[in-house]
């Protein structure tokens, strides 16, 4: 079987074109939408990601402040910065970068981001709104998986989707979004007894575990669709996914590439969220 490649580039370009037009309209009114990137680390991968977000924002006409708190930032310090940006009328949107300093968990700090500026949907209020099926910002990576599937015309209603990974920023919110699309969802994780036995029954497998090559041919039934969320640094420095593409290709009906699949859609959706936050925040 030929395995189709589920590129995210076209979809990202379409989202970005709309975002740019909305950002321009805001700029002509009360000023460019403004995103604060709060960075409590000195991690090279995080620095690379921050740089790519800044470039994406710049291309779309979104202003970006990087707030460098360093790896020694405390819970109190991070919360204070997030609360200050939440109250600041000039800041429309806030993103907290990971990894967090040793001893600090996302749960310790994320509630300090006001939900109306929480463009990556990490605060307990945003996650609770999603679980309840109410409006709020949704974690962009999870939303990107659903948008990528829909863009490529892959039906979800009544289909069995196996999500591999149960983090609060990818796996769990994705399960909620898929349920809202009427999929039958199984969430697998590091303690799932026989991963292949579960995933091989699914119509769609989403790999979001952060483990290079975790999902291979035996995990996928013939004709299934596979989405690779993994963004892992291989020993040779290249970015690689969670799916062993060589063994899945030829068996799956479709597979999203890494890079060029979920990643560009995630960035595009984050920027769309920034513009939405500015539009709604300024009209209130």
Which chain residues interact with ligand NAD by CB under 6 A?
A: 141, 164-167, 169-171, 188-190, 192, 195, 208-211, 214, 229-232, 262-263, 266
Those residues with Cβ within 8 angstroms of residue 127's Cβ, 6 or more apart along the chain or in another chain: 121, 168, 172, 173
How would you classify the pairing of strands 160-164 and 63-68?
unpaired
Q: Least Å distance between CB 177 and ligand NAD?
A: 14
Task: Return the number of other C-beta atoms located less than 10 Å from residue 129's C-beta.
Answer: 18
**DSSP three-state, residue 66:** strand
Q: Least Å distance between CB 170 and ligand NAD?
A: 4
Helix axes 262-283, 9-28, angle to 10 degrees: 20
Q: Where are the alpha helices (DSSP H) in the chain?
A: 9-28, 44-60, 75-87, 106-109, 124-131, 140-151, 171-180, 195-199, 245-248, 262-283
Q: What is the DSSP letter of 221?
A: -
Q: Least Å distance between CB 160 and ligand NAD?
A: 17
Q: Least Å distance between CB 212 and ligand NAD?
A: 9
Q: Least Å distance between CB 148 and ligand NAD?
A: 10
Nearer to ligand NAD, 47 or 83 (CB): 47
Per-residue three-class SS string for 181-214:
CCCEEEEECCCCCCHHHHHCCCCEEEECCCCCCC
Enumerate the β-bridge partners of residue 217. none
Nearer to ligand NAD, 97 or 266 (CB): 266
Q: Least Å distance between CB 156 and ligand NAD?
A: 19
Those residues with Cβ within 8 angstroms of residue 4's Cβ, 6 or more apart along the chain or in another chain: 152, 253, 254, 255
Q: Least Å distance between CB 53 and ligand NAD?
A: 11
């Amino acid at each position: 079987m030929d395995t189709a490649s589920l590129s995210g580039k076209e979809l990202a370009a379409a989202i970005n074109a709309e975002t740019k037009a909305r950002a321009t309209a805001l700029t002509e009114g009360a000023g460019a939408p403004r995103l604060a990137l709060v960075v409590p680390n000195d991690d090279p991968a995080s620095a690379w990601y921050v740089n790519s977000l800044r470039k994406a924002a710049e291309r779309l006409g979104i202003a970006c402040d990087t707030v460098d708190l360093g790896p020694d930032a405390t819970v109190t310090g991070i919360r204070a910065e997030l609360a200050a940006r939440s109250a600041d009328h000039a800041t429309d949107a806030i993103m907290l970068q990971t990894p967090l300093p040793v001893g600090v968990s996302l749960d310790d700090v994320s509630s300090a981001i006001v939900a109306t500026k929480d463009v990556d949907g990490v605060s307990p209020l945003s996650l609770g709104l999603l679980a309840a099926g109410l409006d709020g910002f949704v974690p962009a990576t999870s939303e990107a998986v659903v948008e990528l599937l829909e863009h490529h015309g892959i039906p979800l209603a009544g289909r069995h989707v196996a999500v591999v990974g149960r983090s609060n920023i990818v796996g769990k919110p994705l399960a909620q979004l898929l349920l809202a699309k009427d999929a039958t969802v199984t969430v697998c994780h590091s303690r799932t007894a026989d991963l292949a036995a579960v995933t091989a029954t699914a119509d769609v497998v989403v790999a979001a575990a952060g483990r290079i090559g975790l999902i291979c041919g035996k995990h996928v039934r013939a004709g299934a669709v596979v989405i690779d969320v993994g963004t892992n640094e291989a020993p040779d420095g290249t970015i690689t996914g969670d799916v062993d593409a060589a063994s899945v290709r030829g068996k799956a009906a479709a597979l999203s590439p890494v890079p060029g699949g979920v990643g560009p859609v995630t960035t595009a959706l984050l920027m769309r969220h920034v513009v939405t936050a500015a539009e709604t925040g300024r009209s209130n």
